Amino acid sequence: MSSMSRARVARRIATGAAYGGGGIGLIGAAAVGLLVAEAQMAKRHVGNGHSPHPPSADGRYGWESAHAGRTRAGVQGLSAPGDPPLRLVMLGDSTAAGQGVRRARQTPGALLASGLAAVAERPVDLRVVALPGAQSDDLERQVSRALEAQDGVPDICVIMIGANDVTHRMPATRSVRHLSAAVRRMRTAGAEVVVGTCPDLGTIEPVQQPLRWLARRASRQLAAAQTIGAVEQGGRTVSLGDLLGPEFAANPRELFGPDSYHPSAEGYATAAMAVLPTVCAALGLWPAEEERPDASRREGFLPVARAAAEAASEAGTEVTAAMPTGPRGPWALLKRRRRRLPTPADTPATAAEPTA
């Protein structure tokens, strides 16, 4: 499917979500029977009940007060001595929770908290309310939990959701409607929001054709529609897409966890490396010169549906709101940030594990 066709589909789904439509599915009705049959076969090979519950990663990560207040050229928003910790909350499904690894420091929340602490030179308090198996209709409950916390509204919220919506055939309009409402509530409360859009389920090792093709198509359609919904509510998105596709193909046993479905520690590190720059940028912590579009990386301003479609086709791509409107509707900035985590020299030992 071309990017223009994907943009039209994504806009149709997002519009249906905004206006209460529910009849637009992720794939044609004629394919549903085949998808169900293939999915039943895949379930015999995926999971097998061996995936452990995600480890609890809640706690404080990063810099002690002695480290606070250092300056870094070109970076805005660094802390002053005595500033309170930044508050990061993870919402979504098993990917956001870190299912498939055994150590807290290997979960995406811990990786993001440690990286954010290193960049901000400030402690980060992490709270994970994501639930393995969750679909987008669980986000309302998760947002309520996040906003009812005693320590107040989080500074940044990361949402990873969508895979279960595809596998359970939730209508795409309904899925996007729930995500948009969650982003709107968090932004209204004062939190920044970054959404890791639906990953490409066509990369799952045991899944065979034609289910693999259908899963890839459905995943990318949903990811593009999620981007439109999230960006129009004031959030930013990062396409997870087939981010791990080449790595999975070359090293499936290394980058998949024991259940052959959830990422391994190396897989989560790759995903966190893609999301961290956007988290930092949302909080004003990324170098100012990197916030301008770079034509050499094919960055620039596009209608939001076109930006969403391009992001769905290229993992690691960020989309954020730009000009409020234009001849073809709202516009967005598409960025292909350099993926990197802080080096060990940048990160103090206290960033490796939660202290509470």
Cα separation, 292 vs 46, whole angstroms: 43
Is residue 2 annotated as a catalytic residue, yes or no? no
Cα separation, 55 vs 98, whole angstroms: 7
Is residue 262 annotated as a catalytic residue, yes or no? yes
Q: What's the token pair of residue 285?
A: 């912590």
Classified as helix, coil or strand, 333 is: strand
> Could you say which of 79, 262, 264, 313 is catalytic?
262
**What Å distances lie between residue 22 and 14, 18, 83, 121, CA to CA?**
11, 10, 46, 45
**What Å distances lie between residue 104 and 54, 107, 131, 168, 275, CA to CA?**
8, 6, 15, 28, 18
H-assigned helices in the chain: 3-18, 29-43, 94-97, 108-120, 139-147, 163-167, 172-189, 211-232, 245-250, 252-255, 265-282, 304-313
> Could you say which of 51, 79, 94, 180 is catalytic?
94
> Could you say which of 58, 83, 137, 259 is catalytic?
259
Question: Which residues, including other chains, have CB under 8 Å from residue 190's CB and lie 6 or more apart?
Answer: 153
DSSP 49-74: T-PPPPPP--EEES--GGGTT---TT
Cα separation, 115 vs 145, whole angstroms: 24
Cα separation, 51 vs 100, whole angstroms: 6
Torsion of CA 262, 268, 270, 272, to 10 degrees: 130
Question: Which residues, including other chains, have CB under 8 Å from residue 294's CB and lie 6 or more apart?
Answer: 335
Cα separation, 221 vs 8, whole angstroms: 10
Question: Which residues, including other chains, have CB under 8 Å from residue 179's CB and lie 6 or more apart?
Answer: 136, 139, 159, 161, 195, 226, 229, 230
Length of the chain: 356
Catalytic center residues: 94, 259, 262
